[in-house]
Amino acid sequence: MSGQVAEPTPQSQTELKTVKCVVWDLDNTLWKGILLENDQLVLADNIVQIIQTLDERGILQSVASRNDHDAAMDKLRELGLDEYFLYPQINWNPKSASVEKIAKSINIGLDTIAFVDDQPFEREEVQFVLPAVRTLDVTELSTLLDRPDMNPRFLTEDSKLRRQMYMSDIKRQEIEDSFGGSNDEFLASLNMRFTIAPAQEDDLQRAEELTVRTNQLNTTGYTYGYEELDFLRQSPDHKLLIAGLEDKYGTYGKIGLTLIECGPEVWTIKLLLMSCRVMSRGVGTILIGHIMNMAREAGVKLHSEFVSNDRNRMMYITYKFNGFKEVSSDGKNIVFEADLDRIPPFPAYVDVSIQS
């Protein structure tokens, strides 16, 4: 990069984002035949390979089917496919309602979902109610794995484990729902360990993936490529930090990233993001608090860029809650300044490990 940092790339509103979840119909889509008509069901051609390949690429999968729930789940278990589908919606509701519920349960945008169904009516109903969802005919299955939006640039360890991590999240949620104590007591029972470290070369694929995939808990929406990140992590004028989280049920993976531009008198947070999967774990202030501590120790002011959009309001609130004040704004592009005299302490229920 010849010593010069490329400008970050804002995520385009018209850009075709990588699919995060494929939602499958069942009858005459996942399998040939109709379950409730007692047809001799046969799996669609190459469907197992397609499902397994998507899973290996870190693309989640679910089901939206008008069917008897118990009978359909029994059939999926019999076929050895049930474990691949998160939050399956098997009922008599409109398919659009099922797809929307899946998106909310996984906490992803509708514009990152692809819905596969053999019936034109069902596809059109979903397209009409949820125009951001990509609708695919079952006849397109033979080329589905070749689509650019089904091929993430990198296959990281986090992406290979994505379904298992979501399944662990479901288990945690079930335990939380039945927990008798306070929220802080539940969080303390998880034995969470939050790590912050300078990004290394083997973190860069995941770092790029985080900038591309994380939309809600993202201060600017800037995306950075592998080569840019590799330059920035070695730059004496920048700090690139990556955060991870684990608890007694397993790892959440690398879930946070920040890029700080370090001037002689002012440090500027160019990017701060956290995975939506940890939103309810009370760890959102840890990375901010660490950056504030570093700036205070360095004797500099701390600014942060913020680019407002229709999905990252929570990050604006997080900055305000942690004592950041607006010092300039044009309505969309905001610059905050931190109050380094009031730095939030790390939550008592998390073991924070900071590596240098």
What local confidence, expressed as pLDDT, does residue 7 receive? 53
Q: Determine the Cα–Cα distance for residues 285 and 320; give it in Å rounded to an integer.
A: 11
* Domains with residue ranges and CATH for the chain: 21-150 (3.40.50.1000), 156-354 (3.40.630.30)
Query: Does the structure show a pLDDT above 60 at 4?
Result: no
Q: Would you call 337 helix, strand, or coil by DSSP?
A: strand
Question: At how many degrees (to 10) do helices 226-234 and 204-213 cross?
Answer: 120
H, E, C per residue of 272-335: EEECHHHHHHCCCCHHHHHHHHHHHHHCCEEEEEEECCCCCHHHHHHHHHCCCEEEEECCCEEE
**Cβ pair 88, 73 in contact under 8 A:** yes
Q: Determine the Cα–Cα distance for residues 132 and 111; give it in Å rounded to an integer.
A: 5
Q: Determine the Cα–Cα distance for residues 298 and 266; give it in Å rounded to an integer.
A: 10
Query: Does the structure show a pLDDT above 50 at 13?
Result: no
Query: Does the structure show a pLDDT above 50 at 1?
Result: no
In Å, the largest CA–CA distance within the chain is 73
Tell me the average pLDDT across 40-44: 92
Closest CA to 105 of 123, 85, 91: 85
Q: Determine the Cα–Cα distance for residues 216 and 227; give it in Å rounded to an integer.
A: 24
Q: Compare 277 and 305 and report the one with higher pLDDT.
A: 305
Query: pTM of the predicted model, to two decimals?
Result: 0.78
Q: Compare 172 and 116 and report the one with higher pLDDT.
A: 116
- Across the chain, mean pLDDT equals 91
What local confidence, expressed as pLDDT, does residue 285 receive? 87
Tell me the average pLDDT across 83-92: 97
Q: Determine the Cα–Cα distance for residues 41 and 31; give it in Å rounded to an integer.
A: 6
- Identify each DSSP E strand in the chain by its residue range: 9-10, 21-24, 31-32, 42-43, 60-66, 89-91, 113-117, 134-137, 192-198, 222-223, 238-247, 250-262, 266-274, 301-307, 325-329, 333-337, 350-354
Closest CA to 197 of 254, 263, 279, 237: 254
pLDDT digits 0-9 by tens, 239-270: 999 999 999 998 999 999 999 999 999 999 99
Q: Which residues pair with 351 in a beta bridge?
A: 193
pLDDT digits 0-9 by tens, 300-334: 999 999 998 878 888 888 899 899 999 999 878 99
Query: Does the structure show a pLDDT above 50 at 236?
Result: yes
Count the Cβ atoms, other than its own, within 10 Å of residue 66.
Answer: 19
- Give the contacts of 37 (CB within 8 A, at least 6 positions apart): none
Tell me the average pLDDT across 21-27: 98
Give CA torsion, residues 32, 35, 41, 42, to 10 deg.
Answer: 40
Alpha carbon separation from 195 to 5, 199, 301 (Å, rounded): 27, 12, 25
pLDDT digits 0-9 by tens, 46-65: 999 999 999 999 999 999 99
